[in-house]
Chains A and B, each alone.
Chain A
Amino acid sequence: MTARRARAYRGSPCVVLPWAVADGARNMAVDEAMLELAAGGSTLLRFYGWEPWCLSLGRHQTAPDRLLGRSPHELRPGVDAVRRPTGGRSVFHGPEITYAFACPARAWGGPRAVLQTVHRALAEGLRSVGVPLDTVQGNDEKTRFAEASRISGASCFRDPAPGELTARGRKLVGSAQCRRRGSVLQHGSILLEDRQRLGDLEGRDIGPDEGAAAGISGKGPAIGLNELLDPVPDTRLIVERLMDSVVGAFGSPAAAATDVSAETAPPEALIRLAARYEPVHRSDAWLWNR
Chain B
Amino acid sequence: MSDIPEDLRYTAEHEYVRETDVDGEVLIGITDYAQGELGDVVYVELPAPGEEFGQMEAFGTVEAVKTVSELFCPAAGAIVAVNDALEADPGLVNSDPYGEGWMIRLELEAPEDFNDLLTAEQYSALVADADEI
Interface secondary structure of B, over-half rule: strand
On whether the beta carbons of A149 and B39 are closer than 8 Å, the reply is yes
A196 at the interface (CB under 8 A from B): no
**Complex interface residues of chain B between 103 and 133 (CB less than 8 A to chain A):** 130, 132-133
Q: Chain A: interface secondary structure?
A: loop
Distance in Å: Cβ of B3 to nearest Cβ of chain A = 19
Q: How far is the CA of A88 from the CA of B40 in the complex (A)?
A: 13
Instruction: Give residues of chain A (80-98) contacting chain B, Cβ–Cβ below 8 Å.
Output: 85-88
Say yes or no: is B19 at the interface (Cβ < 8 Å to chain A). no
The answer to whether B100 has its CB under 8 Å from any CB of chain A is: no
Interface residues of A in 169-197 (CB under 8 A from B): 175-182
Interface string of A136-177 (1 = CB under 8 A from B): 000100000010111100001000011000000000000111
Interface residue total, chain B, C-beta cutoff 8 A: 21
A215 to B53: give the CA distance in the assembly, Å.
Answer: 48
- The reply on B68 being an interface residue by CB < 8 A is yes
Residues of A close to B72: CB separation below 8 A: 181
Decide: A1 and B65 in contact? CB cutoff 8 A: no
B13 contacts the other chain (CB 8 A): yes
Q: A151 contacts which chain B residues (CB < 8 A)?
A: 42-43, 63
Q: 0/1 per residue, B49-65, Cβ < 8 Å to A? A: 00000000010010111
CA distance A176 to B63 in the complex (A): 11
Given A60-B68, A111-B67, check contact A149 B42 (CB 8 Å).
Answer: yes
Contacts of B6 in A (CB 8 A): none
Please tell me if A5 contacts chain B, counting CB pairs below 8 Å: yes
A179 touches B133 (CB 8 A): no
Q: When the two chains form their complex, are residues A150 and B42 in contact, meaning their CB atoms are under 8 A apart?
A: yes
Candidates B37, B67, B132; contact of A178 at CB < 8 Å: B67
| Cβ contacts under 8 Å, B61 to chain A | 59-60
Residues in chain B near residue A64, CB distance under 8 A: none
Residues of the B chain whose Cβ atoms lie less than 8 Å from the Cβ of A218: none
Range of interface residues on A (Cβ < 8 Å): 20 to 34
A85 and B45 CA atoms in complex are apart in Å by 13
Cβ–Cβ < 8 Å partners of B42 in chain A: 149-151
Q: With the chains together, A239 CA to B78 CA distance in Å?
A: 48
The reply to whether B64 and A1 form a contact with Cβ atoms under 8 Å apart is no
A1: chain B residues at CB < 8 Å are 132-133
Q: Which residues of A contact B37 (CB under 8 A)?
A: 110-112
Task: Please give, as numbers and ranges, the residues of chain B lying within 8 Å of A88 by CB-CB distance.
Answer: 66
Smallest Cβ-Cβ distance to B70: which chain A residue: A180
A2 contacts which of B63, B66, B70, B133 (Cβ < 8 Å)? B133
Contact: A2 with B69, CB < 8 Å? no
Nearest CB of A to B72, in Å: 8
What residues on B are CB-neighbors of A146 within 8 Å? 40
- Pair B132/A2 contact, Cβ less than 8 Å: yes
Pairwise interchain contact A59-B63, C-beta atoms closer than 8 A: yes
Check B132 against A161 for contact (C-beta < 8 Å): no
Residues on A facing B (Cβ under 8 Å): 1-2, 5, 58-60, 85-88, 106, 109-112, 139, 146, 148-151, 156, 161-162, 175-182
Interface residues, chain B, CB within 8 Å of chain A? Answer: 13, 37, 39-40, 42-43, 45, 58, 61, 63-70, 72, 130, 132-133
Given A59-B63, A87-B65, 20 further pairs, Cβ under 8 A: A2-B132, A5-B133, A58-B66, A59-B68, A60-B45, A110-B133, A111-B67, A112-B37, A139-B39, A146-B40, A148-B66, A149-B65, A161-B65, A161-B66, A162-B65, A176-B66, A176-B67, A178-B69, A179-B67, A181-B70
